[in-house]
A and B are shown apart, each in its own frame.
Chain A
Amino acid sequence: MSGLILSLELRLATRRRRLFVLNTTIPLLLVAPVALSGAPTHHKAAVYTVLFALFGTFGSAIPLLRDAEHGLLQRIGRTTIPPSAHLLERAGAGAMVDSVQLVPACLAVLWGGSSANLATSAWLLPVVGGSLLVANLVGIWVASIARSIAEGALFAAVTALFLVHASGTFRSPTGLPGQWIETVSPYRGLHELLLEIASGGTGVLGGGGWALFAWVLLASLATGGLAPAFLDRLTRAGTA
């Protein structure tokens, strides 16, 4: 990987200042009232998890479909940049930019937490970053099966909410099968940590952390391996 797409995406993020400001402000405006409210901690953690997962998935799928429609993916596809490098660097850059944009929201989460200890809080940015990388990779997958930006938005919402739900965000584990699914779900670690922070707990990452690590690894490998097919579908959808 040459890093060309990574540096391009980072540069583009700094050039699109209005978008950057909006993407920084809106999550903060959504998180701050919840964080500072007296809402139950599991409600708070659910709101944060949904927001962060949707933020990453939408932020990856929609621009990808937009670039496919504009012919930019096709144009870059005609260069010597390998498809795997193109998509993986794009997802990596997307996760970095998303993480930076969510820093104020994360600070609001910490501010509204019930004095979570430093060790727990220190995990927040890495776990949010890892989860956003997974969300960005998932965004690429859903974009590749969508035929328009509207379809992409729908698929991104459905997929992100499904994975958030599978991670046990909206309920407590009731039985072994459900528990197993929750343990291997990508946003389990994020939800666990946000719950700890919101409740002022002192726990650090458990099984959810390992699941997140495995998802980062496997989703990256899958995206790299399937990148030619993904880009082929995306460019065909873009020129249809």
Chain B
Amino acid sequence: MVRARALSYRFPSGRDALEGVDLDASPGETVVVVGPNGSGKTSLLRLLAGDLKPTGGSARVFGSSVDELGPAAVRRIGFCPDRAVHLDALTGHENAVFFARAMGVHRRSAPAAIEPLLRAFSLDGDADVPVGQYSFGMRRKLLLAEALAHRPELLVLDEPTIGLDADAVEQLGLVLAEHARSGGTAVLATNDLGFAVERATRLVLLYLGRKVADAAPEALLSSVDESDRVDIRLARPGDHEIELPEGVHAVVSGPSRLVVESERGVGVLPSLCAAVLRAGARPARIEIQRSGLPEVFRRLTGAELEVDEPRHPEPARRPPDVGPDPAVADRPTNEGHERFHQAARAAGTEGPKSGSDR
């Protein structure tokens, strides 16, 4: 159903978004693409949906090149882009009907096609409200309903869980499961790792525009040990000298964040918190991360996989002028890039020219 070979995309600015990616997706598969911001996930999905033209390699969907998808092929694809663009002056129902009809659903069948989806995503109560008054999460839900309304065989969903509440994520999972059962294919990009591991039949890890892994979740996760991670955000950033308890080692140690690993799991928390407090720091948020995909990603690339916040209906956005995100600043990015280059060279594939290119 989807077959990409050496697929590449270069932005008009000359920056490479995707380099030589191979990807296959067959009926019944749910392929989840995971990677940090800027790894090429959105570009890959836009290429598969025919929204961008490849600058190298090829991609075929239903046997047609994505360069020249005709209306018949377009009708078989349900694309949910990262931007939730709607006709704000129209109601949610009118938007859904318009986009369903624009995808070939007959005028008379359109309401019947969209109403169950609006109900499933809890939008039926607001279906007659102009979309201009919708929240971010409601817009995202409407976008998903619109992508599904014409019952496409191939779903291409970019960050489908962003902005969704827990119920909607659950509903999306059910929709994807049903879609796979009925022989449909889904290619998703997400940083919601829990959702990715739970729903994927295959995980594709992207880094710096290249594919670094492509396997079933179980196969990828079986390669890592059982150690857990504790991620502590500090309330008052500073140069704290935290003496870590025995058996605990730091992965990231910055002025506002401490990430440690321990095989003792949550059992390490009391002594770790005591060590943090002894050093004069104050934890603002503590998060336990089960070892898994981030660890796999770190081993493959040396870089950190940015993990989505726990699911919130309205994800907080950083204002653009508050300086670098401490989480990003703390990340050992350059080291990760170097390790990726080494791994790529060892694997006989050429790594990206420079980490600073992107």
Contact = CB atoms under 8 A, between A and B. Distances in A.
B90 A78 contact: no
A78 B98 contact: no
Contacts, number: 46
Interface stretch (B74-82, B232-240, B333-341): B74-82
A8 interface: yes
Contact of B51 (A8, A15, A78): A78
Interface in A1-53: 2, 4, 8, 11-12, 15-16
Interface in B54-104: 71, 74-75, 79, 81, 83, 85, 87, 89-90, 94, 98-99, 101-104
A81 interface: yes
B85 A71 contact: yes
B85 A80 contact: no
Contacts of A79: 74, 99, 102-103
A78 B71 CA distance: 9
A70 to B, nearest CB: 6
A17 to B, nearest CB: 10
A8 B90 CA distance: 9
Given A75-B81, A78-B79, A81-B102, A8 B87 contact: yes
B85 A78 contact: no
Contact of A80 (B89, B103, B130): B103
B303 interface: no
B217 interface: no
A74 interface: yes
Interface residues of A, number: 20
B101 A72 contact: no
B123 interface: no
B151 to A, nearest CB: 14
B50 interface: yes
Contacts of B74: 78-80
27 contacts: A4-B98, A4-B101, A8-B98, A12-B89, A12-B90, A15-B89, A16-B89, A70-B85, A72-B87, A74-B51, A75-B81, A75-B85, A75-B99, A76-B102, A78-B74, A78-B79, A78-B81, A79-B74, A79-B102, A79-B103, A80-B71, A80-B74, A80-B102, A80-B103, A80-B104, A81-B102, A82-B71
Given A12-B90, A72-B87, 6 more contacts: A4-B98, A8-B87, A74-B85, A75-B81, A81-B102, A236-B12
